[in-house]
Amino acid sequence: MTQKIISLAIILTFVFLSCSDLRKKMDESQLIEAKIDSILVLMTLEEKIGQLQQLQIKKNMHDSVCDLVRQGKVGSFLNPGNLETRNRLQKIAIGESRLGIPLIFGRDVIHGYRTVFPIPLGQAASWNPELVRKAARIAAMEASSEGIDWTFAPMIDISRDPRWGRVAEGCGEDPYLTGIYAKAMVHGFQGNDLKDPSAIASCGKHFAGYGDAEGGKDYNTTLIPESELRNIYLPPFKALVGAGGQTIMSAFNDLNGIPASGNEFTLRRILRNEWNFDGFVISDWDAIIEMIMHGFCKDGSEAALKAIKAGVDMEMVSTSYMNNLAGLVNNGELNTGLIDDAVKNILRVKYRLGLFDRPIAEVPCENVILTADNLELARRLATESCVLLKNSNQVLPVKEPVNRIAIIGPLADAPREQLGAWSPDGRPEESQTPLAAFQALKDNRKYLYAPGLQSSRDKSTRGFAEALKVAGSSQIIFLFLGEEAILSGENHSRAFLNLPGAQEQLIDLLASTGKPLVGIILAGRPLILSDIEDKLDAILYAWHPGTMAGPAIADLLLGKSVPSGKLTISFPRAEGQIPVYYNHRNTGRPPSEVHQGMIPGDPVNPVGHAAFYLDLDYRPMYPFGYGLSYTTFEYSGLKLSADTISMDDTLRVEITVKNSGLYEAFETTQLYIRDLYASLTRPVRELKGFQKFGLEPGESRKVVFRLTAADLAFYNYKGELLVESGDFRVFVGKSSADVLEAGFYLK
């Protein structure tokens, strides 16, 4: 009888909501909450737990999976494979399960779907958030056209350790910049209206601190003081939540002894209570049951209990929730209220995505995959992502009378490798390589090709003779080096970061010809270039540039485009120097210009005591924010609007930038601050603004920034955000290490 009364009440609620003028008064979110509540009361405990389960779809999907859907025991699938499979499962969910709650389908659409863009570490080097937003928008259109509702992106883990394979997936070492990209990608993936068929929910990952893995080993321990967590690792996630990000993924790592997927401090106190996040949290793959291996939980039941209490709403692939939550409720260990909260968070996102109104994904009426516009944007983003690290004697761009060009190296024609890590939907046959791009040019140049090596890890020198022959009949050598895609990404950390295989021998061989030697490096991380830098006349760092790597690189080397990329992660000189990053603290004994590597005699006395290595220059090989152009830019006239400001003033910072060279080009002017003394030691530089703009040769531009006290705030050890009066420095320039500076006092 009770059930009948409840059902009647619910039906009346629906009727009431659907037609009364109350509906007009209720805003969309109130309406969604009312609908959620009206479903929740109908759900059995088993159906509620079903919403918390995400399963993967294996190739030979058994009927058992369909039965689970029919029984309302699954809320989501990842990697549906194709639209048909996705819709087949959805039809079962909405048509054959008792309550007809739609499924949500997720996939790793990290840097493109079929049109693959540069890896995020490359995209970040464009310092062009608008372009990155557009790329995410294209990725969403392509992925949603094949039934994807939700991407497990953006990955916004800060990392300062290029040994970690997943630096490829992030935006580098700076929290402010990564936060800007987080917003851009959320807006790209989700669009302006989550109900739009082309919108896909974003997922900020991996929450939290995953990029601080000890020793750069993936999945490894992280020990991060709260102030560092709040000042460095959390800001990008806060930015994502502020931008309306709909989901968060809890990470694998243990954070200060508490696994991220059982961590109430991050998942409830910060994410929910401080940031008011109202989307849902999904664990990373098996991360809940891995809390047993962590030694944080005795068994699956305790893992499920700790995860649901901490605030993980949905379990990815492992089934500790499915197997244990009902028992925990029945034996009184778990309050159903926590399960209800998790269900509501998930249903909220499903409603916002319009899955209840439009559960079946339609194929768009016109093709949205690999369109000319998509490819053109991929080309532009790849072009703006490449960073020119060296260009001796302006050997680039190629100029007349050079018209015989050697194209050599294992990555000159590697369509799969140039797509980089996490490009499961990219297809090699759709990937345009540098060799193909040069060969497609109808110009008066001859392009001669020899791979030299079969892959980046090839140790055999049997291809060297042919490479030498090709080089011998050319006027300049374009040597394509780097890493195969599989050498970076998840579970692919490296202890040695030099070029793998016999690539360095190939460089030596080609350098011996005395011909201009240009190194184009395709890699998923900063590599150690110390031993090869002086053998290359020019170095273009292309990351893994994606589908349009070829046309983009050809444009740059031949001068159709001018490099504008700037590093968002410092390049170490040696693995022993890691971690090396720009926003470090000063210490009580900072190194100085004299600490530039081993000197004869007593290496310590002449240089004094400092935080340095006897046998290595203390500076990074290339600093954060660094990148050359074919032109030159001159900075002058740094001016501050005041030398003292109060807490509610705005400081105007102005500088003049001039294109003093011969090429029209983009420049990214960067603004940093330094808090000279505070209740906590503060970094020697903190990025607080940047502007990217084009200048004609000879053209000057006044660049203006504005700083307020809020830009100077930091979290102290008690987790309090505060601004302290005192002396500050402002730095403006072309990289974190090449700036003009001025000071001001904050009252």
Select 346 or 567, whichever has its Cβ closest to ligand GLC: 346
CB of 394 to ligand GLC, least distance (A): 42
Tell me the DSSP string of 364-395: PSS--SS-HHHHHHHHHHHHHH-EEEEEGGG-
Residue from 48, 86, 163, 205 binding ligand GLC (CB under 6 A): 205
Choice between 249 and 709, CB closer to ligand GLC: 249
Q: What is the DSSP string of 665-705?
A: EEEEEEEEEEESS-SS--BS-EEEEEEEEEE-TT-EEEEEE
Cβ proximity of 368 and 362 under 8 Å: no
Catalytic residue flag (residue 458): no
Task: Find the shortest distance in angstroms from Cβ 219 to ligand GLC.
Answer: 9
Least separation in angstroms between CB 286 and ligand GLC: 8
Binding mask 150-179 for ligand GLC (x = CB under 6 A): --x---------------------------
- Name the minimum Å distance from CB 153 to ligand GLC: 8
> Distance between CA 603 and CA 121 in Å, rounded?
37
Q: Which of 284, 537, 555, 711 is catalytic?
A: 284
Q: How far is the CB of 120 from ligand GLC (least distance, A)?
A: 12
**Could you tell me if 594 and 606 are in contact, meaning their C-beta atoms sit under 8 angstroms apart?**
yes
Q: Which parts of 100-119 interact with ligand GLC (CB under 6 A)?
A: 108
Query: Quick one: which of 317, 207, 202 has its CA closest to 252?
Result: 207
- Size (the chain), residues: 747
Quick one: 114 or 206, whose CB is closer to ligand GLC?
Answer: 206
Q: At what angle do helices 300-310 and 320-330 cross, to 10 degrees?
A: 80
Which is nearer to ligand GLC, 152 or 626 (by Cβ)? 152
Instruction: Tell which one of 161, 174, 284, 425 touches ligand GLC (CB under 6 A).
Output: 284
CB of 455 to ligand GLC, least distance (A): 25
Q: How far apart are CA 624 and CA 621, in angstroms?
A: 10
Sign of CA dihedral 579, 582, 584, 588: positive
Cβ closer to ligand GLC: 284 or 483?
A: 284
Residue 294 beta carbon to ligand GLC: minimum distance, rounded to whole angstroms: 15
Q: Which is nearer to ligand GLC, 252 or 626 (CB)?
A: 252
Q: Which residues pair with 76 in a beta bridge?
A: 54, 104
Q: CA 382 to CA 556: how far, in whole Å? A: 10
Contacts with 306 (C-beta within 8 Å, 6 or more apart), sequence order? 262, 291, 296, 297
* Residue 234 burial (C-beta neighbours within 10 Å; 0-12, 13-18, 19+): buried
Cβ(169)–Cβ(421) under 8 Å?
yes
Between residues 384 and 490, which has the closer beta carbon with respect to ligand GLC? Answer: 490
Query: Shortest distance, CB of residue 525 to ligand GLC, whole angstroms?
Result: 17
Nearer to ligand GLC, 204 or 500 (CB): 204
Quick one: 79 or 403, whose CB is closer to ligand GLC?
79
Amino acid code (one letter) for 15: V
| ∠ CA 457-461-464, rounded to 5° | 115
Nearer Cβ to ligand GLC (78/453): 78
The residue count for binding ligand GLC (CB under 6 A) is 7
CA 620 to chain centre: 22
Q: Pick the closest to residue 41 from 283, 440, 336, 254 (CA basis).
A: 336
Residue nearest to ligand GLC (CB): 152
Q: How far is the CB of 86 from ligand GLC (least distance, A)?
A: 16
Distance in Å, CB of 550 to ligand GLC, minimum: 28
CB of 565 to ligand GLC, least distance (A): 25
Task: Write out the binding residues for ligand GLC, residues 620-659 only, by CB under 6 A.
Answer: none
**Token match 């990952």: residue?**
205
Using the rule CB under 6 A, is 290 a contact of ligand GLC?
no
Q: Which of 285, 464, 480, 728 binds ligand GLC (CB under 6 A)?
A: 285
Q: Is 492 in the site for ligand GLC (CB under 6 A)?
A: no
Q: Is 490 in the site for ligand GLC (CB under 6 A)?
A: yes
Return the sign of the alpha-carbon dihedral for residues 174, 692, 524, 617.
Answer: negative
Instruction: Spell out the SS3 assignment of 706-735.
Output: EEEHHHHCEECCCCCEECCCEEEEEEEEEE
If the CB atoms of residues 252 and 744 are measured against ligand GLC, the closer one turns out to be 252
Of 21-80, binders to ligand GLC (CB under 6 A) are 78
| Backbone conformation region of residue 446, classed left if phi is above 0, alpha if psi is from -120 to 50, else beta | beta
- The SS3 call for residue 508 is helix
What span, in angstroms and rounded, lies between the C-alpha atoms of 50 and 658? 61
Please name the residue ranges forming H helices in 410-499. Answer: 434-440, 464-472
Least Cα distance to 491 among 679, 213, 702, 227 occurs for: 213
Contact 651, 706 (CB under 8 A): yes
For the annotated catalytic residues, the residue numbers are 284
Contacting positions for ligand GLC (CB under 6 A): 78, 108, 152, 205, 284-285, 490
